[in-house]
Structure 1
């Protein structure tokens, strides 16, 4: 039988969101009995009327399949901010998950969100909340970050109660701050622990 896993599904253009995804995976790995599964989505192309680019690259992160999402025990969804919303490639993928909604495949599974922005007040919270909406429509149980996490009180960069975030400040080379790293790992650990819990029907 396959071990339960937290699907960490993200889109990353310049690497910051991918760095966050890997720290969330580290948090998941701290919970015995749960695995982390990192997946990304392909970019979209204006030349193909919004369709995803057809060629799968030989190297790089693995593209997510519907079955990865169907069989996950929990989900972390991540994207850089685009005008206060998730990036188009991730939205395009999520918009194609109607079969999972119809079947109820994601009902009662825990889900959290994460984002990165180039500016300190660049729409982190609105992006996190906008990513939560389709997950709630899927019947998932939204998981944020509690203020019992001390880094949420101390951070001077990213970190919100709605989910993990990162301020990709100019010249930072995409490195997460100590607090941002800890909060990503906290989100991963929370999702992994909740993935092991039985939700009463």
Structure 2
């Protein structure tokens, strides 16, 4: 089986739910399986502040997870139009992989959640693309052949899947948002398997 790494950071649970939907899409592709991982919180002095193993949920990512996967789905909540600090902190530590070109040619897809409709979804997705492009990864967005992309009145962009969580973080996912998360997982898995061949 070829593994797609579904790597996310989630504070209130919306991005975690998106990661599970993306993983469901990955698992719909014969020959692909999802490896779900997260990153720990960081302190204001930018160091990991949680134990080495989380109490519950997905394990923390290790560099070998990126090396071993054939594709990546990366998710973070929006922080002023950018990825959250814990995710940025993790990517800042991936220089050893960059030095040996470990991610060159692997496809990557992105997902995010914001409190408001115009809370920086697209700029967050683009901010997450930047380190991936430096690593030589190939970005797989969501084409408009997904009818939900044109029909959505909430989240969903051609840059990746997104969700409008509301100011309390508890706004339910729309049907379009769910379908686009699953479609994103399928797309990155199908692309990865084609490239592996």
TM bracket (short chain): over 0.9
Conserved? CA contact 1:15–1:174, under 8 Å: no
Match of 2:96 among 96, 99, 104: 99
What do the CA deviations read for 1:6-52 (whole angstroms, capped 9, x no partner)? 10000000000001000000100110110001100000012xx2110
Q: Which residue is equivalent to 1:139? A: 136
Q: Which residue is equivalent to 2:6? A: 8
Q: Aligned partners of 2:4, 2:196: CA distance in 1, in Å?
A: 16
Q: Which residue is equivalent to 1:173? A: 170
How far is the alpha carbon of 1:61 from its aligned partner? Answer: 2.0
Give the secondary-structure state (helix, strand or coil) at the position aligned to 1:179. helix
Q: After TM superposition, list the pairs within 5 Å mapping 1:115-194 onto structure 2.
A: 115-170=112-167, 173-194=170-191
Conserved? CA contact 2:81–2:123, under 8 Å: yes
Give the secondary-structure state (helix, strand or coil) at the position aligned to 2:113. strand
Is 2:38 aligned against 1:40? yes
What do the CA deviations read for 1:61-99 (whole angstroms, capped 9, x no partner)? 210011001111000110000010000000000010001
What do the CA deviations read for 1:137-195 (whole angstroms, capped 9, x no partner)? 10000000000000001000000000000000246724311000000010000111111
Q: Point out 4+ residue stretches in structure 1 off by more than 4 angstroms.
A: none
Unaligned 5+ runs, structure 2: none
Flag the 1:131–1:171 CA change in 2: closer, same or farther, 3 A: closer
Flag the 1:41–1:12 CA change in 2: closer, same or farther, 3 A: same
Give the secondary-structure state (helix, strand or coil) at the position aligned to 1:53. coil
Q: Aligned partners of 1:80, 1:172: CA distance in 2, in Å?
A: 11
How far is the alpha carbon of 1:60 from its aligned partner? Answer: 2.6
What do the CA deviations read for 1:111-153 (whole angstroms, capped 9, x no partner)? 0111000011000000000100110110000000000000001
Q: Give the root-mean-square deviation of aligned CA atoms.
A: 1.4
